[in-house]
Amino acid sequence: MTHATAHDETPGSDPNAGLRADAERNRDRILAAARCLYAREGLGVSMAAVAREAGVGKATLSRRFPTREELITAVFADRMDAYVQAVTEALADPDPWHGFTGYIEAICAMQAADRGFADVLTMTFPAAKALEESRAAAYRGLLELIDRAQATGHLHDDFTHQDIVILLVANAGVVAATSDDAPDTWRRLVGHMLRAAATPGTDTPPLPQPPASTVLYRAMIRLGRPSADAP
């Protein structure tokens, strides 16, 4: 008489395989939920909200991602790689001024596409080493990009890397305020920034049309409403 192995396993099979598969599915669900919530609402989303969206318990979320920084790192690893790639491509442009303007437009477009990433580019996460290493690599490339653009005479000599941070902070605010009603408003801000950075006589990308007054008004009304999470 033969006896079935536990859980109908064949000899030599891994009894923990099912548990690992469940853990991986939970991880994928958490990341998908976090990406969706961060993109829509920014990094202010709570870990509890991510767990609810993923359909898992808080304990499960904590086992997979013990800290907020670890979750943010996992969610935005690919976007940070794209951020580094953007400056690499800009440095490869034979026209340093064109490379500079293309870089500014590219990173601001990344912010506009994902409110969470808009926040990531204007915040630091000391505990998220991989994320900060990517940021540091992009920063080194940016310094070189600024130097090259200034050497052409097209970028003001007093333009600094801090001005990029100021632009990203401003763009994050514009994206947050207008993404629902006038999602292309950020392009107007970037157009003005590039004109301000350029020396007289330098060709700059055409200035996009401003959003209609009605949609800006709706955005202002939305900003004045209390947050759903407010006490």
Q: Map out the domains of the chain as residue ranges.
A: 18-66, 77-224
Q: Phi and psi at residue 65, in whole multiples of 5°?
A: -135, 90
List C-alpha distances in Å: 40 to 113, 117, 118.
9, 10, 11
Beta-bridge partner residues of 155: 198
**166 or 17, greater pLDDT:** 166
Residue 143 banded pLDDT, cuts 50, 70, 90: very high
Of 3.40.50, 1.10.357, 1.10.4160, 1.10.1660, the CATH number of 77-224 is 1.10.357
| Rounded to 5°, angle at Cα 148 from 173 and 136 | 55
Which CATH number does 18-66 carry? 1.10.10
Residue 125 banded pLDDT, cuts 50, 70, 90: confident
Q: What is the pLDDT of residue 52?
A: 94
Nearest CA-CA partner of 209 in 183, 184, 176: 184
Amino acid at 80: M
Amino acid at 171: N
- Cα distance between residue 120 and residue 79, in whole Å: 10
pLDDT tens-digit readout, 93-116:
999 999 999 999 999 999 999 888
Is the distance from CB of 91 to CB of 99 less than 8 angstroms? yes
Q: What is the pLDDT of residue 45?
A: 92
pLDDT tens-digit readout, 12-58:
455 555 557 778 888 999 999 999 999 888 888 999 999 999 999 99
- Cα distance between residue 176 and residue 187, in whole Å: 14
Residue 8 banded pLDDT, cuts 50, 70, 90: very low
Mean pLDDT over 128-146 rounds to 91
pTM of the complete model beyond 0.95: no
Q: Do domains 18-66 and 77-224 have the same CATH topology?
A: no
Is the distance from CB of 98 to CB of 89 less than 8 angstroms? no
